[in-house]
Each structure stands twice: as structure tokens, then as C-alpha cells.
Amino acid sequence: MSVALAAAVLVQCSPAPDPIRAAPSSVTTTSTTAAPVVQPVTAADLGATWRPGCPVAPGELRRIDLDYIGLDGHDHRGVLVVHRDVVDEVIAIFADLRGQRYPIAKMQTPQHYPGAADELSMEDNNTSAFNCRALPGSTTWSLHAYGRAIDVNPQFNPYLGRNGDLEPATAGGYLDRHRTDPGMLHADDPAVRAFTDRGWVWGGNWRNPIDYQHFERR
């Protein structure tokens, strides 16, 4: 099935949902802006997101605690784990997003979900980075397994695979990219350029598959 046909079928079968509201999480709400904090991580810190045989060791990764604007318009404190080589870029990108007041639904590490399941994290509209997992439908490591990819508001910005697979499965209404809900990403948006101007690749520019949530740095 072509991407266009798959998208059309999914949009017809999936009524447009109401905009998602901010949901409770372990992420902290803040009243003042705090500087990002970068820390090394251990295997124990990474929980189910890492296991022996992953393509990077815990020592190559860093935890970043940083502020972002939530869907409620308030400051929140979230966490990303990324490769140490992209820490400075990630801090600058998320400072740009916050300056734009681009809203992020949630930002916590995937280990907060049973088995660090990517589908559960996406359905929760959780923005995340490192997770030692393969590409969808493949045995090849995703760049998430290297800490070099970030998925942003995945419920609003779904992945559509070559065979029409939708991830998350609950995001059918957001295949209509004419929608302009806060937190959605579109070509040439300032939020997209915060990444691409620094050399990151946006999956929304791909054709087959299309991955609106995904940014990667090789």
C-alpha cells in the first residue's frame, strides 16, 4: 500500500481527536528557569533502556535535566539521555524551543514505561531520546540506541511505515498534517529549524517511511 493511500485510509478510519491535554507524570513543574544539568549515567540508571550488547556503553551517554514549556504554557523540568557528543547541541536546541514557547507534552526517559516500550512512551506523547532498540520492523539498531535521535511529541507527530504501520497506533487523527495543533511539527517550522539548522535530520522530510516526530544526528 502506498504511503498516500495508507494515510488516506487511516485518516478516514480515525476521527480527529481533541487536542491532548497535559497529563500527570513524574516530570517536575517549575516556577523559575534553572540551568540544564548534565550528568553521567550507569547501567543501573538506564534501567530497561540499556542491556549488554547495546551499541554504546553507559559511559558514552549523558543525562540532561532541562526546562521546557508544557502544553499548559508553564515551565516544566524534564530529562533526556543522549550521546555525550551531542549534549551541547541538544541543550541549545531545547533552549531555542523554550524561547519559541514550543509546547512539549512530556519529557521523561522511556524506562518509566514497562519494558521501556517505545509504543507506550509514544502513546503517552512523551518526548525522549536514548532507548536501545532496533528500527521498526528491522534488526538494525535505531539511532536512538546510540543516543543520537530524539522523538518530539510523538502522538502529535506520528511515524507511518512503508507498509502503512502507524506508530503510535493511537495517532491516526494526526496524519492530517493540515492540522495546526500546538506541538505539531511542520516543514520549516521554527521548531524544526532549531534542529535542522544545527545539522540534525528531520524524519518529516522523508517519504517512505515518514517520521514526523523524529530528529537524528549522525
Long-range contacts at 139-146 (CB < 8 A, ≥ 24 apart): 141/55, 143/216, 143/217, 143/218, 145/54, 145/55, 145/56, 146/55, 146/56, 146/83
State residue 33's pLDDT score: 76
**pLDDT value of position 15:** 44
Q: Where are the domains of the chain?
A: 3-15+28-216
For the entire predicted model, the pTM comes to 0.86
**pLDDT computed for residue 203 by the predictor:** 98
Each residue's pLDDT tens digit, 116-126: 999 999 999 99
- Tens digits of per-residue pLDDT, 18-61? 444 444 444 555 556 799 999 999 999 999 999 999 999 999 99
Average pLDDT over the chain, rounded to an integer: 89
